[in-house]
Amino acid sequence: MSGSRSAKDFFRPLAVGAPSPLTEIPARPSRAIHFFDPSNPKMAAKVPDLVSTVDVLLGNLEDAVKADNKLAAREGLVQIAQDTDFGPTQLWTRINSLDSPWVLDDLTTLVPAIGHKLDVIMVPKVQGAEDIHYVDRLLAQLEAKADLERPILVHAILETARGVANVEEICGASPRMQGISLGPADLAADRRMKTTRVGGGHPGYLVRQDPNPDQPAAVRQTYQQDLWHYTIARMVDACAMHGIYPYYGPFGDIADVTACEDQFRNAFLLGCVGTWSLHPKQIEIANRVFSPSVEDIAHARRVVAAMGDGTGAVMLDGKMEDDASLKQCLVMVELAEQLAAIDPALKAQYDAIEVPSE
pLDDT tens by residue, 215-240: 999 999 999 889 999 999 999 999 99
pLDDT at 310 over 90: no
Query: What are the CB-based long-range contacts (under 8 Å, 24+) for 96-102?
Result: 96/61, 96/62, 96/70, 96/124, 97/62, 97/124, 97/125, 98/123, 98/125, 98/131, 98/134, 98/135, 100/62, 102/61, 102/70, 102/74
- SS3 label, residue 59: strand
Q: Can you say which residues are annotated as belonging to the binding site for Mg(2+)?
A: 159, 186
- Give residue-wise pLDDT tens across range 36-69: 999 999 999 999 999 989 999 999 999 889 999 9
- CA gap 47, 94 in Å, rounded: 16
Whether the pTM exceeds 0.85: the reply is yes
- Strand, helix or coil at 82? helix
Q: What is the pLDDT of residues 154-184, one digit of tens each?
A: 999 999 999 999 999 999 999 999 999 999 9
Structural domains in the chain plus CATH codes: 7-289 (3.20.20.60), 294-351 (no CATH)
> Which DSSP string do the residues of 204-221 spell out, in sequence order?
TSEEEPPPBTTBTTS---
- Average per-residue pLDDT in the chain? 94
> Which helix or strand (DSSP H or E) is residue 154 part of?
strand 153-158
Task: Give the helix/strand (H/E) hosting 122.
Answer: strand 120-123
Predicted confidence at residue 3, as pLDDT, reads 59
Of 180, 199, 348, the residue nearest 260 (C-alpha): 199
Residue pLDDT, tens place only, 313-347: 888 888 888 889 999 999 999 999 999 999 999 99
Distance CA 82, CA 86 (A): 10
Q: Which residues are known binding-site members for substrate?
A: 94, 159
- Residue list, annotated binding site: 94, 159, 186
